[in-house]
């Protein structure tokens, strides 16, 4: 089970993702909450210092903050280590230079982040049962979720090209009678990458829900509607839409005036998302900020309707 | 000479002719065809190399990260090529050695 929390910057996705994760962990669901935002704040919300590797922050609750840069440099080190055994020693410096250049390519950080997330998705159902992703602002999350669909055909094309070259070569060899079984490590690696991306893509389609988070204002609403369209295109299912910081209605002055605007936005949200199975959930404006697991657990009652079937009910 | 021996000799002669024909055919036609095939394979490999090392040419490569582990093999391929061409060192450390 994978749940993404996404939305415009500053709407409170990190707090809601953390509260949801804390709630599920208290229900006995082994949960990992992970932040993919380059400007991490999950650690601040939980009141814990987090790193790339999931660590326990409570009963049944793990948390981590992952980074594309770090994953990319780990991967370069890994590839270099493999290369030491596979290619002539004198080309290693050139290999390293090519790798560094590739890592500086635009898009690499996102691909690397997706790669790290793939590791965590693969461990979901084994090391933990629920993966809660506090993602970066909308555009970033959409790109992350549509990357597999973008990259797969490209790699497919490269693998196809390589395979044909090898087939033609082997056919030419066959005419001389020098056929032998040949493993092409390059082709193997391309196909491994493709398989990994495809597995991620199908897992995201079957097992993931995205909760779009917004505050009852016009700009976040517009962005939420666009995001919903693009997610549908990417084949990722929507979960309930969360409207955060809804005022209670008994305010006066500035807040009372804002209340009218809020009502219009809420009506539109209900019109667009309320009818479907996804639903809309409103979370009230709380008097103070939530910090730490205990605070979050207290407030997480608001998220009850998001509960997946827990281990006790299942 | 027995009839069986004659047949055997004839058989051996035919086989020799066949081998000679095969060699000629190989020299005249197959080798050219094979050369064409090899050239096609090289062309495809060149395309692949270009696509995988796009950033060396200053072009953005959208899958640079996904193909990182192919890079050592490409450089090794390239290394083998310039050595086949008779250059022990390629002369541009940025590309090979």
Q: What is the mean pLDDT of each run of 10 residues along chain A (314 residues)?
A: 91 93 94 92 93 95 94 92 88 88 83 92 96 86 80 80 79 62 75 87 90 92 92 87 84 75 90 80 81 83 81 52
Q: Which residues of chain B have pLDDT under 70?
A: 1, 55-56, 58
Q: Is residue A314 part of a domain?
A: no
Closest by alpha carbon to A289, among A31, A18, A38, A40? A18
ipTM computed for the complex: 0.70
Q: Which residues of A touch B97 (CB under 8 A)?
A: 90-91, 93-94
Q: Which residues of B touch A76 (CB under 8 A)?
A: 68
Q: Is residue A72 part of a domain?
A: yes
Q: Quick check: A82 and B51 CB within 8 A?
A: no
Residue B5's pLDDT is 82
Please tell me the distance from the alpha carbon of residue A97 to that of residue A112, in angstroms, as a whole number: 18
Residue A180's pLDDT is 53
Q: Is residue A280 part of a domain?
A: yes
Q: Is residue A298 part of a domain?
A: no
Q: Is residue A146 part of a domain?
A: yes
- Chain B nearest C-alpha distance from A176 (Å): 9
Q: Which residues of A touch B48 (CB under 8 A)?
A: 158, 161-162, 165
Query: Who contacts A73 (Cβ-Cβ below 8 Å, separation ≥6)?
Result: A103
Residue B1's pLDDT is 58
Q: Which domain holds residue A142?
A: 2-288
Q: Quick check: B65 and A165 CB within 8 A?
A: no
pLDDT in tens, A85-128: 888 888 898 899 888 888 887 788 888 999 999 999 999 999 99
Residue A314's pLDDT is 44
**In a 3-state reduction of DSSP, which class is residue A97?**
helix
Residue A146's pLDDT is 80
Specify the pairing of strand A280-284 against strand A241-246.
Answer: parallel
Q: Is residue A283 part of a domain?
A: yes
Give the CATH number, domain containing residue A238: 3.40.50.300
How many separate domains does chain A show?
Answer: 1
Q: Is residue A109 part of a domain?
A: yes
Q: DSSP labels for B36-78?
A: HHHHHHHHHHHHHHHHHTGGGGT---TTTTTTGGGHHHHHHHH
A15 contacts A27 by C-beta, under 8 angstroms: no
Q: Quick check: B55 and A101 CB within 8 A?
A: yes
Q: What is the CA radius of gyration of chain B?
A: 25
Q: Quick check: A189 and B70 CB within 8 A?
A: yes
């Amino acid at each position: 089970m994978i749940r993404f929390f996404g939305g415009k910057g500053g709407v409170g996705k990190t707090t809601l993702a953390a509260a949801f994760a804390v709630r599920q962990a208290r229900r006995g669901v082994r949960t990992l909450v992970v932040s993919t935002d380059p400007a991490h704040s999950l650690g601040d919300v939980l009141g814990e210092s987090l790193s790339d590797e999931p660590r326990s922050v409570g009963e049944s609750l793990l948390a981590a903050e992952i980074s594309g840069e770090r994953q990319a440099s780990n991967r370069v080190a890994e590839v270099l280590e493999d290369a030491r055994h596979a290619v002539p020693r004198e080309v290693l410096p050139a290999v390293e230079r090519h790798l560094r250049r590739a890592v500086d390519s635009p898009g690499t950080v996102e691909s690397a982040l997706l790669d790290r997330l793939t590791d965590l998705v693969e461990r979901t159902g084994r090391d933990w049962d629920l993966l809660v992703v506090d993602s970066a602002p909308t555009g970033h999350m959409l790109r992350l979720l549509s990357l597999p669909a973008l990259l797969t055909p490209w790699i497919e094309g490269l693998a196809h090209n390589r395979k044909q070259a090898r087939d033609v070569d082997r056919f030419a060899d066959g005419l001389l009678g020098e056929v032998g079984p040949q493993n092409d490590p390059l082709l193997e690696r391309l196909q491994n990458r493709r398989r990994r991306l495809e597995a991620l893509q199908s897992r995201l389609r079957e097992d993931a829900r995205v909760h779009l988070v917004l505050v009852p204002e016009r700009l976040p609403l517009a962005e939420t509607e666009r995001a919903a369209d693009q997610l549908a295109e990417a084949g990722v299912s929507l979960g309930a839409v969360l409207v955060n910081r809804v005022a209670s209605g008994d305010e006066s002055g500035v807040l009372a005036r804002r209340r009218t605007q809020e009502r219009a936005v809420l009506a539109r949200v209900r019109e667009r998302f309320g009818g479907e199975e996804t639903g809309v959930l409103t979370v009230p404006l709380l008097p103070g900020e939530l910090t730490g697991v205990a605070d979050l657990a207290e407030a997480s009652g608001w998220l009850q309707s998001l509960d997946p079937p827990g281990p006790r009910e299942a | 000479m027995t009839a069986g021996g004659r047949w055997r000799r004839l058989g051996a002669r035919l086989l020799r002719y066949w081998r000679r024909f095969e060699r000629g055919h190989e020299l005249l036609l197959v080798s050219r065809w094979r050369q064409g095939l090899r050239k096609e394979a090289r062309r495809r490999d060149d395309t692949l190399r270009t696509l995988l090392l796009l950033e060396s040419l200053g072009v953005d490569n959208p899958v640079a990260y996904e193909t990182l582990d192919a890079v050592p093999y490409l450089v090794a391929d390239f290394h083998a090529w310039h050595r086949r061409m008779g250059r022990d060192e390629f002369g541009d450390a940025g590309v090979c050695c």
